[in-house]
Amino acid sequence: MGAKTALLAFADGDIRSALLRATRSDRSETEALVRRVHPGYVVEPADDGTLFDDVNPPDDITYVTKLAGLELFCDWRLVFDPPSELPDHLRKAGAGRRIVMHGMHSVSGSLAFAVWENDVLIRSLSLSPGSGVQENIGEPFDFELPYWAGEHPVEPVPGWPDQGPYPLPFHPLQLGEEALRALFGFIVEGRPEPGDIDREAVHLHGFRVTDPSGAEQAAREALYAKVLQAMGPPQRFRMGPDGTMHEVSLDSF
């Protein structure tokens, strides 16, 4: 699974229904939304996109559409972990509406999603195989129940040695796809169903959004450098005659 999402929505009702009726939004209206969720930032035009290509936007890029009953953003700075820490200015931007946040990342295998109804957080979940369950607030939605009941365990990968039991009762990205379909009406990976949104048909306006002080960019680069240093040198594996994977040196290639 290689799915990554960074989604925040303010909705008057069902997000799927609004996306099914999607038309091209007005750029000036969407720019006003971007300035509202990123106060004090420099906002400049960028290439437009679609919901098919841009649920995982690059750094400093925001994609947004404003539809009847829905404002939808694709932006990693609007995804918070734990989700309950969504800042006040974003909760105020969605006041009295349904706020839905969804972020998953295939590198860490992490998932975080949350739903607010009429300014009340009714469900928040954050988990990853490395950190376990970081936040679990509210009653699970119906689509979650089979996962918590152990109906979707992660099976060992054939051939890899020294595999212990998976630290969670299910893979977060698998639940993440279920959450996407239930909350937004589409999936990123897997087999689409007849009622799923045609993501290529949903147009998004693109904007480059930057911190004028440069502090955010510097902090991000420092974090990336720290993560790369912690990762250490790459490991290489090859399947042996017995069908198991063995670590090999670069010299053996």
Each residue's pLDDT tens digit, 143-198? 999 999 999 999 887 766 667 789 999 999 999 999 999 999 999 998 889 999 99
CB 135 within 8 A of CB 220: no
pLDDT at 155: 86
pLDDT at 168: 96
Phi/psi at 100 (nearest 5 deg)? -130, 125
CA angle 56, 60, 66 (to 5 degrees): 65
What tokens does 50 get? 């679609």
User: Whose structure tokens read 């990968």?
Assistant: 157
pLDDT at 251: 61
User: Whose structure tokens read 């004090």?
Assistant: 40
CB 245 within 8 A of CB 158: no
User: Whose structure tokens read 């689409």?
Assistant: 192
- On the question of a cis peptide bond just before residue 158, with omega within 30 degrees of 0, the verdict is no
Using alpha carbons, select from 98, 110, 9 the residue that is nearest to residue 51.
9
pLDDT at 214: 83
What tokens does 135 get? 């936040």
Q: Which three-class secondary structure state does DSSP give residue 227?
A: helix
Which residues on adjacent β-strands are paired with residue 128? 132
Question: Looking at residue 86, what DSSP letter applies?
Answer: -
d(CA 82, CA 125): 8
User: Whose structure tokens read 């720290």?
Assistant: 226
User: Whose structure tokens read 């890899």?
Assistant: 160
pLDDT at 157: 72
pLDDT at 215: 83
CB 135 within 8 A of CB 121: no
Please, what's the b/e burial string for 22-56 (b: 16 or more CB within 10 A of its CB; e: otherwise)?
A: beebeeeebbebbeebbeebeeeebebbbbeebbb
Number of domains in the chain: 1
Segments forming the whole domain that contains residue 63: 4-252
Using alpha carbons, select from 93, 98, 123 the residue that is nearest to residue 111.
123
> Which residue positions in the chain have pLDDT lower than 50?
1
The pTM of the full predicted model, rounded to 2 decimals, is 0.88
What tokens does 144 get? 């979650």
